[in-house]
Amino acid sequence: ILNVEQSPQSLHVQEGDSTNFTCSFPSSNFYALHWYRWETAKSPEALFVMTLNGDEKKKGRISATLNTKEGYSYLYIKGSQPEDSATYLCASEGSSNTGKLIFGQGTTLQVKP
């Protein structure tokens, strides 16, 4: 994989459903994987930054896992709420020590009440 790819592109769930989406990234020269939450008409907001293989991070009902050997990360949302509706971006940071992020296109989540 040369680029950062996210799937699905969009997702509609009912309030209370749990959901997850995938981020695939180049596993060579890997340094960190970022997740951002981007609500309409706002700016992207950092959720997690993960660096170690097997890392798992949690913030409330949202959690993320990281597999650096195979180059993927999952974002999970437990018991989705309408306020979780947003685009979730992942970005890969390489080992060039410049802070440059390669972003995926995002997964847009719509949670219906």
Partner 1 sequence: DTAVSQTPKYLVTQMGNDKSIKCEQNLGHDTMYWYKQDSKKFLKIMFSYNNKELIINETVPNRFSPKSPDKAHLNLHINSLELGDSAVYFCASSQGQGPAYGYTFGSGTRLTVV
Say whether residue 74 binds partner 1 (CB under 8 A): no
Q: Which one of 89, 90, 109, 111 is in contact with partner 1 (CB under 8 A)?
A: 89
Classify burial at 65, counting beta carbons within 10 Å of its beta carbon; exposed 0-12, middle 13-18, buried 19 or more: middle
| 8: preceding bond cis by omega (within 30 degrees) | yes
Binding mask 6-45 toward partner 1 (x if CB under 8 A, else -) reads -------------------------xx-x-x-----xxxx
Question: Could you give the CA distance from residue 106 to residue 87 in angstroms, rounded to a whole number?
Answer: 6
Q: Give the binding site for partner 1 (CB under 8 A).
A: 31-32, 34, 36, 42-46, 49, 51, 89, 91, 93, 95, 97-101, 103-106
